[in-house]
């Protein structure tokens, strides 16, 4: 990253501030936390959600470090209402320099703010055609995964491509190597150097590794950021070299909240989308904000 370029978090927050001046944010209604205890190794992913008073939602991954345990300690057992009335833009500031819980709540707030404005604008992002964020693979492709997507391993095998997976902690590397002994799983991001296609989770926004991962993939012509946490304005990511954003929006708020409370799957209450860089009109045009 250039020494003169602001961090991803700072750039996102600057953009959100400009959008908020044109489209002021609704307040927080509730923080939703999964009921499941999330024992180590039990789940590949867990998410919290910020719900705004206008019915908008934003999701965030919460299995980094002790994020889920701390969220449950601070806001579990019906204490999600503790954030009721909070300013989501203020919560969003935690993405720049907050602790692991603050960053998780911040990303959920950023995604909820995005969803809120998209709803008011009537903007509907294109639906995703597949769980790879609309990335189509062929036999000559070398796919790099940043974060593991276990259901996709067979799809890559069927396409005849190569796969390299980069994980962020030794425990996850050991676990995935045991589950998939034929897959190259490593902590070394430089293993992505020969990949022509990269798919990474939006966890890169939580641990501030997006710029480093982009720099580690010089041959990648396609770089997708996907996952339920990727429900944000894509401009800052596109400017850095991301070519596709694949996120999740809550389509049925009540069904989503009920499923979260019951510790059940909420996929039926959500819709996946995929925004390609070449088809994106830009946030200023959508929001009616002058350059």
| 3-state SS, residue 201 | strand
Residue 42 CB coordination number (10 Å): 10
| 3-state SS, residue 232 | coil
User: Where are the extended beta strands (E) located within 98-232?
Assistant: 142-146, 162-166, 184-186, 197-201, 222-226
CA angle 105, 110, 116 (to 5 degrees): 120
How does pLDDT run along the chain (291 residues), one tens digit per residue? 444 456 999 999 999 999 999 999 999 999 999 875 544 444 567 899 999 999 999 999 998 888 888 888 877 655 567 799 999 999 999 999 889 999 999 999 999 999 999 999 999 999 998 766 667 778 888 999 998 877 677 777 788 888 999 998 888 889 889 988 888 999 999 999 999 999 999 899 999 999 999 999 999 999 999 999 999 999 999 999 999 999 999 999 999 999 988 888 999 999 999 999 999 999 999 998 876
| 3-state SS, residue 175 | helix
pLDDT of residue 1: 40
Cut 0.75: pTM above it: yes
Q: Are strands 28-32 and 184-186 parallel, antiparallel or unpaired?
A: unpaired
pLDDT of residue 242: 97
Q: Are strands 244-250 and 270-276 parallel, antiparallel or unpaired?
A: antiparallel
pLDDT of residue 155: 77
Q: For residues 98, 104, 107 and 113, what is the CA-based torsion angle, rounded to 10 degrees?
A: -100
pLDDT of residue 77: 59
pLDDT of residue 133: 61
């Amino acid at each position: 990253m250039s020494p003169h370029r602001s961090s991803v978090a700072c750039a996102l927050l600057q953009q959100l501030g400009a959008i908020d001046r044109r489209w002021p944010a609704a307040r927080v209604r509730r923080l939703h936390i999964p009921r499941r205890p999330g024992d180590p190794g039990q789940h590949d992913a867990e998410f919290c959600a910020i719900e705004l008073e206008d019915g908008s939602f934003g999701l965030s991954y919460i299995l980094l470090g002790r994020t889920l345990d701390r969220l449950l300690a601070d806001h579990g057992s019906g204490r999600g209402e503790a954030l009721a009335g909070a300013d989501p833009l203020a919560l969003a500031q935690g993405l720049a320099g907050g602790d692991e819980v603050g960053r998780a709540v911040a990303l959920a707030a950023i995604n909820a703010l995005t969803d809120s404005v998209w709803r008011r604008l009537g903007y509907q992002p294109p639906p995703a055609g597949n769980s790879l964020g609309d990335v189509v693979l062929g036999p000559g492709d070398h796919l790099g995964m940043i974060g593991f997507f276990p259901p996709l391993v067979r799809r890559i095998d069927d396409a005849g491509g190569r796969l390299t997976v980069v994980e962020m902690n030794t425990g996850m590397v050991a676990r995935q190597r045991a589950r998939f002994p034929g897959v190259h799983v490593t902590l070394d991001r430089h293993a992505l150097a020969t990949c022509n296609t990269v798919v990474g989770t939006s966890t890169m926004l939580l641990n501030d590794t997006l710029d480093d991962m982009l720099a580690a993939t010089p041959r990648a012509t396609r770089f997708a950021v996907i996952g339920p946490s990727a429900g944000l304005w894509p401009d800052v990511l596109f400017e850095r070299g991301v070519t596709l954003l694949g996120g999740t929006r809550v389509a049925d708020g009540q069904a989503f909240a009920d499923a979260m409370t019951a510790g059940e799957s909420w996929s039926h209450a959500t819709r996946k989308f995929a925004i390609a860089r070449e088809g994106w009109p830009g946030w200023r045009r959508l929001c009616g904000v002058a350059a």
